Amino acid sequence: MTSLFNTFLYQPLFNGLIALYNLAFSDLGLAIILLTFVVRLILYPLFYKSFKTQTLMQKIQPEVQRIQHDHKHDKEKQAQALMELYKTHKVNPFSGFILIFIQLPILIALYRVFLNGFSPEALNSVYSFITAPTEINHFFLGLIDLKNPSILMVGLSAIAQYFQGRLALPKNQSKTDQNPAVRISRQMVFLGPALTVLVLYSLPSAVGLYWLATSVFSIGQQLIINKKIYGDSSANNSTTS
């Protein structure tokens, strides 16, 4: 299993990072951002579907609550009504878990790439068609040493995580909404950045830069999805009225 992980995930990602490093004027930070972009581009359909499902699930929460209230004494009818609701809105409530299982090995491989570093032994495993650099410049734009922890990178990552969580909150919901899903979403807006700080505080800032770049791409995707979903709703409401 370890051999398969190394062959199909770790080695391709490591070699991709080295190839991008050669293209990015020997700037490891730029190479990490480019690698993040490539990975997110490959996984874009999965991320888009997951974000869209999450946003739609929050949007239809009032209908979910109504069904749960109307059929609270008949769990079978409640389940049937909920499945019909999900079918009508083309929502798969389990798609988020599928995405986590798919991307988890990739995330582990990426973290291994950044944490293991670029020792001579590691560079010996570069593919024959990729030029292995004699040494790696670990500075990002000549300012941040990506081998060491960086408070600046941790802070920026936490801020990006906060805005990502804010964008994922359902629209037009009052702060007194007792819906458990909404309450959890609001709590995660603050828990996400806190966990980001705890995880990244002692790690090399290369991991923080990847985390930051991933959050920025996620914010962009969430903005696109929100505009499409809530923009379509506004247009439909205007047409109806």
**Tens-digit pLDDT profile for residues 114-125:** 877 788 888 888
Q: Which residues of 73-99 are buried (b: 16+ CB within 10 A; e: fewer)?
A: eeeeebeebbeeebeeeebeeebeeeb
Under DSSP, the state recorded for 119 is -
Mean pLDDT confidence for 189-198: 90
Choice among 81-90, 102-111, 195-204 with the minimum mean pLDDT: 102-111
CB 28, CB 208: distance < 8 Å: no
Give 225-230 contacts, CB < 8 A, sequence gap 24+.
Answer: 225/48, 225/51, 225/52, 225/55, 226/55, 226/167, 226/171, 229/52, 229/55, 229/56, 229/59, 230/59, 230/171
For residues 49-71, average pLDDT: 81
Q: Which residue has the higher pLDDT, 241 or 168?
A: 168
Higher pLDDT, 229 or 31: 31
Q: How confident is the model at residue 68 (pLDDT cuts 50, 70, 90)?
A: confident
Check whether 86 has a pLDDT greater than 70: yes
pLDDT range class, residue 175, cuts 50, 70, 90: low
Closest CA to 35 of 48, 23, 51, 47: 23
Q: Average per-residue pLDDT in the chain?
A: 82
Count Cβ atoms below 10 Å from residue 169 Cβ, excluding itself.
15
Yes or no: say if 205 and 144 are a contact pair by the CB < 8 Å rule. Answer: yes
**How many whole angstroms separate alpha carbon 177 and alpha carbon 211?**
31
Confidence tier at 176 by pLDDT (50, 70, 90): very low
> Using 50, 70 and 90 to split pLDDT, how confident is the model at 89?
confident
Asked if the model's pLDDT at residue 21 lies above 90, the reply is yes
Q: Please report the pLDDT score of residue 118 as a whole number.
A: 83
Whether the per-residue pLDDT at 141 is higher than 70: the answer is: yes
pLDDT tier at 157, thresholds 50, 70, 90:
very high
For residue 165 the two structure tokens come to 């969580």
95 pLDDT above the threshold of 60: yes
Give the closest residue to 193 by CA, choosing from 230, 156, 221, 228.
Answer: 156
Half-sphere exposure of 110 (CA within 13 A, CB side): 21
Predicted confidence at residue 116, as pLDDT, reads 77
Give the mean model confidence (pLDDT) for residues 20-39.
92
How much is the pLDDT for 57? 79
